[in-house]
């Protein structure tokens, strides 16, 4: 999570209007899922990768490593579809093991490939959004889409204080380690418990301080803020529109044929 | 508004405050007067009630007894009265992590003026001005968690300054800052003071208080022990000792030089090393 957060602040596409990126990412995601087509998944995967790596400036190795995480999960979960144990060999492949076969059908193989492709394309859509858009910008878009204010305010505070919490936790951990707080399993478990309790108390105190500080600035129950504006660029908007129309066309064609 | 000694912006009269009912009093009968446009340093041992007093000054805490007057009028604790008070008395908190609630610097600074109900384009103009004025531009597009302590401090001052208050209270602004950022914060504070903003600052740095302040308030166990000009306070050995303060180095050195006969006895005590150097240079 922290890696993604750092990367998105470095992305060259960061200053592109967040609404554009949001619409692009969500629409492409929708077409991937609705069409279930290998072609569309391939196009989306390639375009997202191109935008993130070439235009956004995130290193190729980094991007691949990030993609490897969901890919591993996907492979593991599709194994159940590809691999069957059966007494009768199926049409795709069959490996005899004693009286049984480890086997799979062509249909299930095709289904698995389509599933992996769609899922990876969808992941690439979300990666495009999260690697090139900061959390505050995403919240801003959600605000414009009339998400409940309460939810956005909470997300905003959580995003800010998750880092403070982690800093505090690591400081406590270092101080415990420097006093042999984890020399064996028993002390480690104990130290961890103490850290949890300590964090909880500090979080409570901090929330009181924060409330005082906000009250001092005339807080009246609603967090109103302004964000830096990045105007929509016509060229980008038209590009996105054309791309989504292309995907729409392909989706219709795939569904009809 | 009257001028001269009568122009009191904040007056605290015999204020008592305890965090818990029947608990020990954090403020134990504080009385003081702050003149408009002055730079006042608040000093005292840890836990002497400085921060509590500050939070009373902008109505976050309501005194158990005693009154606080702002511009000669007792603080009005209605919702509207409090908003009015807080729009004029701003507090920069000691730990910026307790003050900055948004990860975005721009959003953070916009919070105060929007609460004052100012129109959006005016707020945007103000934010840009304050970002430039406090030299935040180089890091204004970074998230709060990627800022250094000094940068967070700059943002937390911007938070308050953008509301254009009459009084700015700084609670130990130099705490946990390196020398460079301390200097930077001090310069910012000086510029604010030059613009006529009344500044109350809690500090443990007596050398700085001596050279910077128009007045020092020495607090002890929830009371004002001494409120006077810096030289008077800094030469009061007894009071300094009581409040865990050390006599400023420059005054110690000046004393020695006078005793040795290097400097004349009738000189005014210097408030800074620079001034003492001048005395020595000119051989008076």
Q: How many residues does chain B have?
A: 284
Predicted pLDDT of residue A3? 85
Q: What would the pLDDT profile of A96-115 be if each residue is shown by its tens digit?
A: 888 888 888 888 889 999 99
Q: Is the pTM of this model over 0.90?
A: no
Tokens of B127: 């934010």
- Give the tens place of pLDDT for each residue, B88-127: 999 999 999 999 999 999 999 999 999 999 999 999 999 9
Laid out side by side, the sheet with A100-104 consists of A84-86, A100-104, A93-97
How many independent structural domains does chain B possess? 2
Tell me the per-residue pLDDT of A22-42, one tens digit each, with 9 for 90 and over. Answer: 999 999 999 999 998 999 999
Burial B7-17 (b: 16+ CB within 10 A, else e): ebbbbbbebeb
- Same domain, residue pair B139 and B28: yes
* Residues with Cβ within 8 Å of residue B257, at least 6 apart in sequence: B263, B276, B280
Q: What is the pLDDT of residue B8?
A: 93
Q: Kindly state whether residues B194 and B260 are assigned to the same domain.
A: no
What digits encode the pLDDT tens for the residues A103-146? 888 888 899 999 999 999 999 999 999 999 999 999 999 999 99
Domain co-membership, B136 together with B155: yes
In this structure, are B67 and B42 located in the same domain?
Answer: yes
- Please compute the mean of the pLDDT values over residues B146-167 and round it to a whole number: 94
pLDDT of residue B114: 94
User: CATH number for the domain including B174?
Assistant: 3.40.50.300
Instruction: Tell me, yes or no, whether B166 and B278 share the same domain.
Output: no
**Which residues of A touch chain B, with CB atoms under 8 Å apart?**
5-6, 9, 134-136, 156-157, 159-160, 163-164, 167, 206, 209-210, 212-220, 223-228
For B94, counting Cβ atoms within 10 Å of its Cβ (0-12 exposed, 13-18 middle, 19+ buried), the class is buried
Claim to verify: residue B29 and residue B91 sit in the same structural domain = yes
**Confidence at residue A245, expressed as pLDDT on a 0 to 100 scale:** 95
**What ipTM was estimated for this complex?**
0.86
CB nearest to B120's CB, from A136, A157, A226:
A226
Average pLDDT of chain A to the nearest whole number: 92
Round to whole Å and give the CA distance between A149 and B194: 41
Task: Supply the DSSP symbol for B145.
Answer: G
Please write the tens of the pLDDT for every residue from B251-279: 999 999 999 888 888 888 888 888 888 88
Contacts of B120 in chain A (CB under 8 A): 226
B103 plus B183 within the same structural domain: yes
Is A217's CB within 8 Å of B108's CB? no
User: What percent of chain B shows pLDDT beyond 70?
Assistant: 97
Structure tokens at B51: 């921060």
Same domain, B123 and B38: yes
Question: B69 with B154, same domain?
Answer: yes
Q: Which domain holds residue B267?
A: 248-284
Same domain, B121 and B193: yes
Spell out which residues of chain B touch residue A227, defining contact as CB-CB under 8 Å.
104, 106-107
pLDDT score, position B5: 52
Cα–Cα distance measured from residue A241 to residue A238, given in angstroms and rounded to the nearest whole number? 5
The tokens for B208 are 């700085």
pLDDT at A87: 87
Same domain for B59 and B101, yes or no, is yes
pLDDT in tens, B26-41: 999 999 999 999 999 9
Confidence grade of residue B1 (pLDDT, cut at 50, 70, 90): very low
Same-domain check for residues B218 and B258: no
A219/B83 CB distance under 8 A:
no
């Amino acid at each position: 999570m922290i890696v993604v957060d750092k990367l998105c602040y470095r992305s060259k596409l960061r200053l592109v209007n967040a609404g554009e990126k949001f619409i692009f990412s969500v629409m492409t995601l929708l077409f991937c899922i609705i069409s279930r087509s290998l072609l569309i998944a391939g196009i989306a995967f390639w375009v997202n990768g191109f935008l993130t790596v070439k235009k956004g400036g995130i290193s190729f190795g980094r991007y691949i490593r990030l993609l490897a995480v969901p890919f591993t999960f996907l492979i593991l979960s599709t194994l159940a579809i590809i691999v069957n144990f059966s007494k009768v060999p199926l049409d795709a492949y069959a490996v005899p093991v004693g009286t049984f076969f480890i086997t799979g059908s062509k249909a299930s193989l095709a289904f698995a490939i389509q599933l992996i492709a769609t899922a990876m394309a969808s992941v690439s859509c979300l990666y495009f959004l999260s690697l090139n858009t900061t959390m505050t910008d995403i919240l801003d878009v959600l605000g414009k889409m009339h998400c409940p204010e309460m939810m956005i305010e909470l997300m905003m505070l959580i995003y800010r204080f998750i880092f403070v919490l982690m800093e505090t936790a690591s400081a406590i951990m270092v101080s415990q380690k420097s006093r042999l707080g984890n020399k064996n399993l028993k002390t480690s478990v104990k130290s961890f418990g103490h850290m949890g309790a300590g964090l909880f108390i500090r979080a409570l105190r901090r929330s009181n301080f924060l409330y005082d500080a906000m009250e001092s600035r005339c807080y009246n129950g609603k967090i109103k803020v302004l964000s830096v504006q990045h105007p929509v660029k016509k060229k980008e908007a038209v590009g996105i529109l054309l791309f989504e129309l292309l995907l729409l066309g392909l989706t219709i064609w795939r569904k009809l044929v | 508004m009257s001028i001269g000694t009568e122009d009191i912006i904040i007056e605290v009269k015999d204020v008592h405050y305890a965090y818990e009912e029947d608990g020990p009093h954090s403020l134990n009968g504080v009385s003081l007067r702050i003149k408009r446009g002055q730079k006042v340093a608040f000093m005292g041992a840890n836990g002497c009630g400085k921060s509590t007093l500050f939070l009373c000054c902008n109505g976050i805490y309501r005194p158990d007894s005693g009154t606080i007057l702002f511009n000669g009028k007792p603080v009005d604790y209605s919702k509207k009265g409090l908003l009015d008070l807080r729009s004029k008395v701003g507090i920069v908190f000691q730990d910026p992590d307790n003050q900055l609630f948004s990860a975005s610097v721009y959003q953070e600074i916009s919070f105060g003026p929007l609460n004052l109900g100012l129109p959006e384009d005016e707020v945007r103009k103000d934010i840009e001005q304050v970002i430039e004025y406090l030299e935040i531009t180089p890091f204004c597009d970074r998230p709060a968690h990627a800022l250094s302590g000094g940068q967070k401090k700059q943002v937390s001052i911007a938070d308050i300054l953008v509301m254009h208050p009459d009084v700015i209270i700084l609670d130990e602004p130099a705490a946990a800052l390196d020398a460079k950022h301390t200097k930077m914060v001090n310069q910012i504070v000086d510029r604010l003071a030059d613009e006529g903003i009344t500044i109350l600052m809690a500090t443990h740095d007596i050398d700085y208080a001596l050279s910077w302040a128009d007045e020092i308030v020495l607090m002890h166990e929830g009371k004002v022990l001494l409120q006077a000009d810096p030289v008077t306070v800094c030469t009061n050995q007894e009071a300094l000792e009581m409040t865990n303060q050390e006599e400023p180095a420059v005054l110690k050195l000046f004393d020695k030089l006078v005793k040795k006969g290097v400097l004349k006895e009738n000189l005014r005590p210097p408030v800074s090393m620079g001034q003492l150097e001048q005395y020595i240079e000119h051989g008076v």
